[in-house]
Structure 1
Amino acid sequence: MLDTRTFIGVDVSKDHLDVALPGSPRVWRTGNDKTGIAALGRKLAGLQTPHLVCEATGGYTRLLAHDLARRQIAFSRVNPRQVRDFARATGRLAKTDAIDAGVILRFAQTMQPPAASAPSEAQIQLTDLVRRRRQLVEMAAMEKQRAAHPDDETLAASLARHLDFLTTEIAHIDQRIADLIEADRHLARRAELLRSIPSFGAIVAATLVAELPELGQVGKKQIAALVGVAPMNRDSGTSRGEAHITGGRLSVRCILYMATIVAIRCNPVIKPFYKRLRNDGKPPKVAIVAAMRKLLVIANSIIEQDKPWLQQQT
């Protein structure tokens, strides 16, 4: 089937979006804010089936992704390493924002990445809340370290007040997350299914629902690669290197790691699996990553089949 998409390459930075349009000799720049992204929307209005492609650059793409979802414009985030490898393979060694946008455009036209599923408004809000909760938890952890050995009573009191504030804010965010999930049937069902897995609590489920929407929609190898727990071989000629995990979504991998640490103590499937790997001589880190991958595959299957843990095991 003929691909009629009009690919657009976008280099995303904190303050700007550099946009490479097909057939245009110059890269167009706009602000990475509501005004600039609205201007981009007007520029895309005359194009046939536009499909924007950018590198996955963390939070800097959030505003753009949300706006494109509301406009129902196709959007893909691609691995920056793939783009840099493509640039080297085509002899593009120089690096500026304009050059990067052009390279992303050529990468998109050559590789034709699939569009990400457009998130619902509830999904967008949930993702923002989960991200904010993580920021608050990280701040609280740093303040707790400082509070362990305060220099004087004034500092100790300041730290205590800030910790009380952060604890209250985290509880408030937790309630908003719970209310948002409960109010949306689709999110509520996914969270319910995930919470049925031994070692998956409310925060683990909310994080996976928010930041791994592909769960249940792709195969086990692809979901493992998305999270960054798929082993990548390092072989060349007769040389055989160890396989390592690489890339993936750090926030999801971190929460999955914490769930796996609990699972190797209480989950009736993961516990014996981890023990068998250790008995076979696998190092702890290797066994934990394997257990993370197995737990993720189980979660993927549960969402795909729309059956909770107990029904999966019968």
Structure 2
Amino acid sequence: MEATVVVGIDVSKDRLDVAIYPSDEPGFAVARDATGLDALAARLKPLAPTAVAVEATGGFESVVVASLAAAGLPMLVVNPAQIRAFANALGKRAKTDPIDALVIARFVAATTPAPRPLPDEATQRLADLVARRRQIIAMMVAERQRQKRLLAPRLQHSITRLLEALQKELSEVDREIDAEVRGSDIWREKEKLLASVPGVGPVIARTLLAEMPELGRLDRREIAALAGLAPWTRQSGQWRGRSFIGGGRASVRAVLFMGAITAARHNATLKAFHQRLIDAGKPKLVAIVAVARKLLTILNAIIRSGQAWKSEVQAASI
């Protein structure tokens, strides 16, 4: 049987180091520019790789993924922490770009994650706006903390002016997000479906639209794992440790936590679910995590079915 071909790419500011696995040929490098990307796509397409993987590097990988996906190559963006853990397991303590590229390829060959389609241009634009909104709010929170500590009148005036400017910018970003959502029939309908669930407001709905385009296309376990809400356990022999959550998309998980707190008070179904967990002796934080996971499961099912929230009977069937 012909071997499966996987390509690993280590992305830096100016160049791409490429490894093909399995292959007897050494790795190679191309420039991270239009000419280099065109040459790379032309070289990889005849190999018919099952996956072409890059690490999430904080932005440098975006143009690489977009360019190669446009050329018809199956792209994957992998977690750098997982790559380093895999490298350590292989005994690859040295860290160079060619080594990293090969480790990425071997990681994907070993774990066989499924390539997912890139978000379209409109979804990426909405995701950028939602991320910018989150950044502005973080800056406002930081300034308010400084406002409590710094007592000098001049510094208080400085903080007040900056907060006013940030509030103005936040309002502008909110208007742009609103225009993006209302300008798309599909997004407008999806936002309406998501917001039909008590406890889900515009911020949660739009964050999910922007940062979890897989919503409605995965099963409940896959969507929980994607958000970092799937519990994982620690066990060895007779010993069993506490379960934890982690990984996944932190920004999605954060808004779902806020939604879970609201839903546990105002959504009759999730309020009863939360109370059953508390009555069973579950810690409050564990109960809220479970509500967040249940809320995401409900939202996933609603988008898949295209039916708005109607009753507790609907939730019980999910």
TM-score (norm. length: structure 1): 0.89
Structure 1 partner of 2:6? 7
**SS, match of residue 76 in structure 2:** strand
Distance 1:131 1:235 in 2: 37
Distance 2:290 2:154 in 1: 48
Q: Which amino acid aligns with 1:79?
A: N
Structure 1 partner of 2:309? 309
Query: After superposition, where does 1:151-300 map in structure 2 within 5 Å?
Result: 151-300=151-300
1:87-127, Cα deviation, whole Å (9 max, x unpaired): 34433332222211111112223433211122111111111
Q: Unpaired segments of 5 or more residues in structure 1?
A: none
Change (3 A) 1:260 1:15: farther
Distance 1:39 1:127 in 2: 28
Structure 2 partner of 1:26? 27
**SS, match of residue 117 in structure 1:** coil
Change (3 A) 1:273 1:94: same
- Paired residue total: 309
Distance 2:263 2:292 in 1: 9
Distance 2:3 2:180 in 1: 38
Change (3 A) 1:255 1:91: same
Tell me if structure 2 keeps the 8 A contact 1:193–1:302. Answer: yes
**SS, match of residue 139 in structure 1:** helix
Query: After superposition, where does 1:38-117 map in structure 2 within 5 Å?
Result: 39-48=36-45, 49=48, 51-117=51-117
**SS, match of residue 200 in structure 2:** coil
Distance 2:63 2:300 in 1: 28
Say whether residues 1:150 and 2:150 are aligned partners: yes
Distance 1:71 1:174 in 2: 34
Query: After superposition, where does 1:134-145 map in structure 2 within 5 Å?
Result: 134-145=134-145
Query: After superposition, where does 1:124-139 map in structure 2 within 5 Å?
Result: 124-139=124-139
Distance 1:107 1:200 in 2: 37
Tell me if structure 2 keeps the 8 A contact 1:30–1:39. Answer: yes
TM-score (norm. length: structure 2): 0.88
Percent of residue pairs identical: 41
**SS, match of residue 47 in structure 1:** helix
- Deviation, 1:238, is 1.9
Tell me if structure 1 keeps the 8 A contact 2:15–2:29. Answer: no
**SS, match of residue 115 in structure 2:** coil
Change (3 A) 1:60 1:254: farther
Q: Unpaired segments of 5 or more residues in structure 2?
A: none
Distance 1:157 1:221 in 2: 50
Distance 1:220 1:92 in 2: 36
Deviates more, 1:160-169 or 1:76-85: 76-85
Q: Which amino acid aligns with 1:292?
A: A
- Deviation, 1:149, is 4.0
Tell me if structure 2 keeps the 8 A contact 1:27–1:102. Answer: no
Q: Which amino acid aligns with 2:207?
A: T
Distance 2:128 2:35 in 1: 21
- Deviation, 1:58, is 4.5
Deviates more, 1:198-207 or 1:145-154: 145-154
Distance 2:208 2:162 in 1: 29
Change (3 A) 1:311 1:280: closer
Change (3 A) 1:65 1:128: farther
- Deviation, 1:270, is 1.2
- Deviation, 1:225, is 0.8
Distance 1:121 1:294 in 2: 30
